[in-house]
Amino acid sequence: MTLHTNVRDSDERKTHYYRVIAENIQDGLTIIENRKPVYVNDVICRILGYTAEELRMMNFIDLIALEDKPSVSRILERIKRTGDKPTELKFRVVRKDGFSRLLSNRYFQIPGETPAILVITADTTVRQQSDEKIEHAAQEWRATFDAIRDMVWICDEDCNLLRVNKAFADSSASEPRELIGKKCFDILKEYKELCGLCPHKRTLSTKEPASQVVPTGSKYIEISASPVFDEKNEVFASVCVAHDITESRTASKKLQELYSLEKELRRELETEMKQRVEFTRALVHELKTPLTPILASSELLVEELKDEPWLSLAKNVNSGAANLNRRIDELFDLARGEVGMLTLNRQPVDSLTLFNDVVNYVGPVAAGNKQTLISNFETLPVVRADEDRLRQVLLNLLNNALKYTPAGGKIILKAYRKNNQMVVEVKDSGPGINETDQKRLFQPYQRLSKDRERFSGLGLGLALSRMLIELHGGKIWVNSKKDEGSTFGFSIPLDGDGI
């Protein structure tokens, strides 16, 4: 009785030991009899998502994913025939929640009255996913490496090739794997002049990137090397790239040539412009020297003469001389403006007073032409501007309107404040201007062909007006339609000084 009791205690103790081991092992354990689990540990329950009671009621084969069932059935039958021989098999199972897991299973035959199979299971899903990601990344890296059109290679301290891309292999009509282990200088024979200045050797020595340009025939190749460090921060290899810089080098040389040419042309242009200004200055002096006494004498004659036709003749001489004097001033101003020598004398200007003075000045001319001059001014601000130049622009626009407006027509001078701008518009009831002519109105020496016989002038007024307005930081424009009159306008900024 005592012996029997001791044996039973010993068996129970062993059973307890085995159960403790089974419940604490990191792998899943399953004992299968007649294709049904008779024992499962907690690990396999977590892997499959079922409780132990649910698993014991199931046929083990039902847990296997449909596509893997035939192979698993065959291996189980083979285990029965071969005896206690471990066999490993990987297959997918479907968890209770519907998600699949990839399991690695090892099978062992358990002898006894009822044959059984011990299955040791490891969940390899995460590892498999990691392996797939690593493989995918390797494939991407290889594809990227081979897609680089430049020759790329990695070589060690002894100049042995560790890795080459397709472009490098193609240069020697080889496959990449055929070149591994060969000396780089044996493959790159056309770069043998480089050996004394090899960027690879310099990189190994300095631990810094290095490069060297090598002429090969009609081409220029830049070879660069970057260090590859090991875990001890020592350089054991370098990544080398051969890049054809012929095109960029040629372009750079051409750019330098063009820059030199542009610099020379600019110098010549500046010289020409200075010469033009000096010529214009001399011309103005030569023209004004005899013109000055003509103006003074004609003005005196107009004041002193009372009898006709002498008074009319004196007025004609004075008017012609004054007109010529204005043309000379316009020519000189335009020449100075084109070379950036025209400057403004900005002062606070009472724009309302200025506009009224201009209207009073041209009013008699409009009345003499049987034209109606209408002024429409709002409360205008004090602006910071060159008063003489602003008056010059206004008179030019009004004189043009007087020229082109027929007898009985209207000329409207309008000025108002808009946002931070003062806007001025001169509207006439003349014949209007077509779109083609509008595009060239503000260019120097441009006049409408139909007006060249009717009106005097060099066609400088609008060009000079545009220059003066832009010097004020403003804009000038024209809106016109054929047979509907024209509106010339300009705006100048108030710069925060307007009241």
Q: Mind spelling out the 3-state secondary structure of 170-200?
A: HHCCCCHHHHCCCEHHHHCHHHHHHHHHCHH
| pLDDT score recorded for residue 226 | 92
Q: What percent of the chain has pLDDT over 90?
A: 18
Report yes or no: 386 and 346 within 8 Å, Cβ to Cβ.
yes
pLDDT band per the 50, 70, 90 thresholds, residue 423 = very high
Q: Is the peptide bond before 381 cis (omega within 30 degrees of 0)?
A: no
Give the highest mean pLDDT range of 71-75, 334-338, 344-348.
Answer: 344-348
CATH fold of 254-338 reads Helix Hairpins (1.10.287)
User: For the purposes of burial, counting CB atoms within 10 Å of the CB of 163, is it exposed (0-12), middle (13-18) or buried (19 or more)?
Assistant: middle
| pLDDT score recorded for residue 393 | 92
| pLDDT score recorded for residue 119 | 86
Q: Which residue has the higher pLDDT, 196 or 272?
A: 272
Is 347-493 a domain of CATH 3.30.565.10? yes
Neighbours of 33 (CB within 10 A): 15
Mean pLDDT of all residues belonging to the chain: 82
pLDDT band per the 50, 70, 90 thresholds, residue 415 = very high
Encoded amino acid at 176, one letter: P
Neighbours of 372 (CB within 10 A): 14
| pLDDT score recorded for residue 15 | 61
Q: Which residue has the higher pLDDT, 84 or 260?
A: 260
Q: What percent of the chain has pLDDT over 70?
A: 86
Phi and psi for 473 in degrees, rounded to 5? 85, 20
- Residue-wise pLDDT for 85-125, tens only, equals 556 788 888 988 888 888 888 878 888 777 788 888 888 88
Name the CATH code of domain 148-244 (choices 3.40.50.720, 3.30.210.10, 3.30.450.20, 1.10.10.10).
3.30.450.20
| pLDDT score recorded for residue 298 | 83
| pLDDT score recorded for residue 22 | 67
Domain-by-domain residue ranges, the chain? Answer: 11-129, 148-244, 254-338, 347-493
SS3 sequence of the chain: CHHHHHHHHHHHHHHHHHHHHHHHCCCEEEEEECCEEEEECHHHHHHHCCCHHHHHCCCHHHHECHHHHHHHHHHHHHHHHHCCCCEEEEEEEECCCCCEEEEEEEEEEECCCCCEEEEEEEECHHHHHHHHHHHHHHHHHHHHHHHCCCEEEEEECCCEEEEECHHHHHHCCCCHHHHCCCEHHHHCHHHHHHHHHCHHHHHHHHCCCEEEEEEECCEEEEEEEEEEECCCCCEEEEEEEEEECHHHHHHHHHHHHHHHHHHHHHHHHHHHHHHHHHHHHHHHHHHHHHHHHHHHHHHHHHHHCCCCCHHHHHHHHHHHHHHHHHHHHHHHHHHHHHCCCCCCCCEEEEHHHHHHHHHHHHHHHHHHCCCEEEEEECCCCEEEECHHHHHHHHHHHHHHHHHHCCCCCEEEEEEEEECCEEEEEEEECCCCCCHHHHCCCCCCCCCCHHHCCCCCCCCCHHHHHHHHHHHCCCEEEEEECCCCCEEEEEEEECCCCCC
Domains 11-129 and 148-244 in one fold:
yes
Say yes or no to pLDDT of 351 above 60. Answer: yes
- Residue-wise pLDDT for 11-47, tens only, equals 566 566 666 676 777 888 888 887 778 888 888 899 8
CATH number assigned to the domain covering 11-129: 3.30.450.20
CA distances (Å), origin 290, targets 45, 296, 439: 118, 11, 38
Lowest mean pLDDT among 175-184, 307-316, 480-489: 307-316
Say yes or no to pLDDT of 361 above 60. Answer: yes
| pLDDT score recorded for residue 2 | 53
Report yes or no: 348 and 382 within 8 Å, Cβ to Cβ.
yes
